[in-house]
Structure 1
Amino acid sequence: MRRMPEEPVIHPSQVMLIRNTQDGQAECLLMDRRTLHVSCTAAELLEHFCLQYGSTMKGRQDAFRMIMHTRQKTPVMISHSSRRIFFPVVSPDDPDCVWLCSNEILKCRNRGNGRSTVMFMNGDEYELDHDARTLLKQMKRCEKYLQMFT
């Protein structure tokens, strides 16, 4: 795993979306409408976020799999206290995988031809090459998981 850069410091509560770029680095869409590039992959950034709260990404995903009886596209709850949970749109092994913060999504809608638009709580929209039904299913799984800890 590559070492996280010293600067800039990113807190998980600022991030709405994480995706890998062509050069193998992560790009984050932040709540204040900035886009930030970091010198690690999306998975490495999520691992860093989990470690900030005393767990590993694998540990968080193993817990989700065990509790929810699921195996594919496993979400990652960064912290039980903050209840921030990110889910992958496709397999995390796919280089085009986008991770969305379930807590920040206002709604999803189909655009046709297997495309969808995600609207975030701050009003930003992001278009994806995936059907909204898949995103909504992932969001429901995240919501159900969070309800277990209420």
Structure 2
Amino acid sequence: MMFDKDLDLITTNSFVLSPLFEGEMKSKVMTRDGYLYSTLTPIQLLEKICIRHGSTFQGRIDAVKELLGYSKKLPLYIGEGIYAYPTRSPYHPECVWVFYHSYRYEAYSKGQTILYFDHGEIVILDISLHTVKEQQQRLASIILSLRFNKQQTLIRRK
């Protein structure tokens, strides 16, 4: 298998995946160790990462749609321990993906929310506090649903 540095950008240490419109770089990933950059757009990067974890991006989205009954701005299960939610439609060029991590948040200004991550970084999102709360709830719902389904499968095997 050929080495692909883009496949190492999204891990359990990823906090935020943002579009970047500077030269060749198309996305920026905030991690525990700093920022990483890619020439792929956020959606292209997520598509590659989902394939690495055994499914397509659309397959992951379809599964969440089926499990939760939502149809828009769906959270994404990428792989073991890696979950994220979009701030807009996933295909919107300014969509930011926020990964499952501990952070505090508060309204920043009209239509903006600020996130304070435990490792000291902050991010200002161009979405309302209400939308952040809604997206967090959706993300928690899919995490709980997948964990419950996994436990039920293990119980049935015994």
TM-score by length of 1: 0.86
Secondary structure in 1 matching 2:21: coil
Per residue, is there more helix in 1 or in 2? 2
- In the other structure, the counterpart of 2:125 is 128
Post-superposition shift, 1:112?
Answer: 2.5
Deviations 1:101-137 (A, max 9, x none): 0x21422210121111012232311011211110111
Q: Structure 2 CA distance, aligned partners of 1:135 and 1:30?
A: 20
Q: Unpaired segments of 5 or more residues in structure 2?
A: 148-158
Q: Structure 1 CA distance, aligned partners of 2:43 and 2:58?
A: 10
The reply to whether residue 16 of structure 1 matches residue 3 of structure 2 is: no
Post-superposition shift, 1:11?
Answer: 4.3
Higher CA-based Rg: 2
CA separation of 1:89 and 1:11: change in aligned 2, threshold 3 A? closer
Post-superposition shift, 1:6?
Answer: 3.1
Q: Return the letter of the residue paired with 2:120.
A: G
CA separation of 1:11 and 1:28: change in aligned 2, threshold 3 A? closer
Q: Return the letter of the residue paired with 1:114.
A: G
Post-superposition shift, 1:10?
Answer: 2.4
Asked whether the 8 Å contact 1:17–1:99 carries over to 2, the reply is: yes
Deviations 1:29-48 (A, max 9, x none): 1112x111111010111112
- In the other structure, the counterpart of 1:76 is 76
Q: Unpaired segments of 5 or more residues in structure 1?
A: none
Pairing 1:59-138 to 2, within 5 Å after superposition: 59-79=59-79, 81-82=80-81, 84-101=82-99, 103-138=100-135
TM-score by length of 2: 0.82
The answer to which of 104-113 and 41-50 deviates more is 104-113
Post-superposition shift, 1:63?
Answer: 0.4
4+ runs deviating over 4 angstroms: none
